[in-house]
Amino acid sequence: MKQVTITPKGLSLTELAEIFYNDTQLAVSAQLQTQVKTAHQTLKDMIATGETIYGVNTGFGLLANTRIEKNELITLQRHLLLSHATGVGKLLTDDIVRLTLALKIICLAQGCSGVRWELVEALLQLYNHQVYPCIPEKGSVGASGDLAPLSHLACVLIGEGKVRVKGEILSAKQGLAIAKLTPLQLAPKEGIALVNGTQVSTALALAGLFAAEKCFNAALLAGSLSFMAANGQPLCFDERIHRVRNQAGQQFVAQKLRELLDGYQQEQTATAKPCIQDPYSLRCQPQVMGACYDHMQYVKSILQREVHAVTDNPLVFAADKVVISGGNFHAQPVAMSADTLALAIAEIGSIAERRIALLNDTNFSGLPPFLINDNGINSGFMNMQVTAAALASENKSLAHPASVDSLPTSANQEDHVSMATYAARRLQAMNENTQNIIAIELLAACQGLDLRQSTPSSAQLQKAYSLVREKVSFYKEDHFFADDIAAIAALIDSGKLAL
């Protein structure tokens, strides 16, 4: 099993994807261990002086002005976890929980949280023994961090709640035994360090990003195959057009399309074509997909920083021997990034649906109506386009920004929240919708190529065509189509349709 080590340099998105998709072992470098221990000692020294420190010897939220007696500091942290474990709904999947655990370990390992190294070790034990806390998906507003879901995660450390191990739901104490742990007695500050943070929202957003990248790659392949099936005019991808627009994403996509259609371009430039300009869903792929690419690159940069951010509160700055209360738990960067990603996912599916409709329309494509011979007795792709339209429309509603909404909590102490958890969680449904739209387009494009008796122009397109045809053969007549859509959607999700 591959080991990933958290160091001061942090983890790359590739390493985070490895954590998300595969069982891995996690370790923390000696340098970060030292930072954690130094911060904890600093906090201990300050507590000993009797100084008032939010969340350590005070209440929480609106109760911040309530002083907690020294003999109740440990009880305070335990009660915080129990009282905030209020999540509802379906449980988050193991891959999301695994990534969340890793992100929480990364956050605490930065040495600004004041927790004991033993606490970080306990989280590592859960991770490395694949003991995943049962975390309901609903109940967080994304400030003060992901309070409810992270409380469910943290409660396992004190022997409360449930875990999932190899698909089986067990009690927290059973899970701790598998991880070779016993229930912890939390030290001052450890409860609030565990439940404050944006790790659940960030894990969900990263999962959305990873799936969106697979959709993006598959959509460029599908769009290229559709372009060939529709006998499109390739001059629209000329490098000079995209250079003078000066948009990086557009130029990137245009270059990719030129590479994918290389042989086809050479063939088309040798013969005249009556249609001077194709519909936008063919011609404007660089402009639309390029904008999606730019937005996805922006989201990558925000999430990469958030992964290594310290997002609990208050924070311990050991070098200055101070503890400062702020608001790094506010997940607005994650919420707005998720909203941005939602726009890209919706647009990738939207333009793909239009190409399906175009291929179906004999007036535009020059192919048999609904991509089937003997139409009338056969309906072909008629209702597959209806399904694609339904999914694209659903994504329009789901793309409504979550980050513009805010409901105050904690008696108006927490009066502006991010809604980041929902913003990121809804990306899964949107990606599934877009995967299915692209699956239908791949089926339609391959059908169109076969009807035109054309072959894919480049090695990459030939590979994509072959992968589709390994799953689904040419349609000579109608049959049960749903399984075919599911098979190609699974192919997209596998990541095999990479550029």
Query: What is the torsional sign of CA 340, 344, 346, 351?
Result: positive
For residues 122 and 117, give the distance between their C-alpha atoms in angstroms, rounded to a whole number.
9
User: Running DSSP on this structure, what letter comes out for residue 238?
Assistant: -
Note whether 38 and 111 are within 8 A (CB).
yes
* Inter-CA distances, 410 with 11, 80, 407, 414, Å: 35, 14, 10, 6
For residues 133 and 91, give the distance between their C-alpha atoms in angstroms, rounded to a whole number.
9
Residues 6+ apart with CB under 8 A from 63: none
Residue of 263, 19, 279 lying closest to 130 (CA atoms): 19
Please give the structure tokens belonging to residue 138.
């609903």
Question: Is 54 considered catalytic here?
Answer: yes
Report the chain's C-alpha Rg in angstroms: 26
The residues pairing with 58 across neighbouring beta strands, listed in sequence order, are 67
HSE value, Cβ hemisphere, 13 Å, CA-based, for 307: 26
Q: Token match 């958290």: residue? A: 6
Give the strand pairing for 162-165 and 132-133.
Answer: antiparallel
Note whether 8 and 87 are within 8 A (CB).
no
* Inter-CA distances, 286 with 239, 241, 283, Å: 11, 10, 8
User: Running DSSP on this structure, what letter comes out for residue 117?
Assistant: H
For residues 46 and 40, give the distance between their C-alpha atoms in angstroms, rounded to a whole number.
10
Q: From its phi and psi, is residue 366 left (phi > 0), alpha (psi between -120 and 50) or beta?
A: left
Annotated active-site residue in 54, 127, 264, 475: 54
Note whether 434 and 385 are within 8 A (CB).
no
User: Running DSSP on this structure, what letter comes out for residue 111?
Assistant: S
Q: How far is CA 4 from the centre of its chain?
A: 20
* Inter-CA distances, 434 with 333, 365, 393, 437, 480, Å: 24, 23, 11, 5, 21
Query: What is the torsional sign of CA 13, 17, 18, 24?
Result: positive
Q: Which residues are catalytic?
A: 54
